[in-house]
Structure 1
Amino acid sequence: MVTDNNTMTTKKKLIAGNWKMNGSLAANEALVKALQQGLAAAPASCDIALCAPAPYFAQLQSLLAGSGAMALGAQDISAHPQGAFTGEHSAAMLKDFGVRYAIVGHSERRQYHGETDDAVAAKTAAALANGITPIVCVGETLAEREAGRTEEVVKRQLAAVIHVNGHCISEIVVAYEPVWAIGTGKTATPEQAQAVHAVLRAQLHHAASEHAAGICILYGGSMNAANAAQLLAQPDIDGGLIGGASLKAPDFLQIISAAAR
């Protein structure tokens, strides 16, 4: 339970699957149908998003139609509304396919595509202006953690987003993804993850004091079926941004179940 304007409300956890560059028409259909069957047998009390590669948006829009259990998400969004930006996808284009979430600033985008804090802030603004919820990723590398710079790095990354979007910062989702724990099999301990989530919560409280407790902060560093329950039990971990485990229906359903506890 969280307090918002002196009213006790329930904040639902969010479990978002990031498929990355994986999938096929056949595999996608099998996965979504398995998830739908699992959720029909055991309805979820958390929000669920499937962040799929853009070529599959039409298929996913059709597969998810009429089912309120899962929402469609994108793995990126352009900061521009239209124009000569080859290979990019505008917020309006995403909305045409019913996209409700967009990951921005994922560490792989920062590393492989040179996305800066300012670019992430601009993409966040584009999403918010079009009614799409941005999942804003922040996180440190192993070298930065070992140098004792974790708090400095994540606060700098989030500060850029707050600076540009402070007037509606309560509408974002934040995902802490320690870069050293993505796709490596390594995971921050629940205590390590909670410590960083608490730093981010305090920063959000400074920017939007009356709404900070209601902002979802997800953990995104190799959360899986085995460790999800312990991570999700932490007071400032409000869900997960799930990579590899989101491609396996039994594992993803187990994480969703853990979020409902």
Structure 2
Amino acid sequence: MTYKYDSSSLLIGQGLSNFLKFVYTPSDEIEFGLRFSGANIDYANLEFNLYRFKFNARYKSYIDFPIEGISEGVLVSYNDTVFLDLGVAGNSLPFLAGAKIGNFELVYGNRYFNASDSILTGYNLSGGFVDMRLIGGIFLEDFDPIIYFDAVFGDGNLKIIYYLRNIDVNISIFDYEMNGMYSFENGNYKLGVQLPFWETYKVFGEFEQTRILSKWVLGFAQYEEDYNLGLKIRNELSSIFVDIFGEVLF
């Protein structure tokens, strides 16, 4: 539920948004998911395993890959070592194909991430107290690099992604989380922080700056196992809005 601050009436109702997500998992090999928002389907996902093969058909959702590409398509993988994802994008057939040998992986994308073909290589390292994954690649048309780094150490996690001239950084230690984004193309940036207090409560804040406007968000929420409920205040286009949000799992 969204309210807008007004000097005479204090708060004015701006509307209500809602969605219903349905996930059906009859066994460890089959999963079906839908998300409805009014009369629209926000996304759909069908996944099942057959022997060592995995099949996934999706609508407006992404495959389990560090870099987001085509959001509609069909994925086929075998034994978590080779995979082929056939995307749907107009009259073309973009695809992403990859193979993993030991700790190394090689991936080729045909118009999968943008209008250019791409090649990516990766390395996975697990040892001591650090689990690390590093992927580096390049778009073949303009030679723009792609970089993904993910390191898990104890109760901490560091993720860095450089993709399409944007860099995203996320740092989490215990339940403390900080994230930032910067665009080398237009100078836009975003900074965010999330801090826990007591056992199930978190406070969070975010600031975003673009060429045409500035936005900030402050809020707090309670996160339980089967529900969450929160309140946030945000400033957009010189107006202040108050959002009450929540989610129920049943």
What TM-score results when the alignment is normalised by the length of structure 1?
A: 0.32
Q: Report the structure, 1 or 2, having the larger strand content.
A: 2
**Structure with the larger RCO, 1 or 2 (CA within 8 Å, 6+ apart):** 1
Higher alpha-carbon Rg: 2
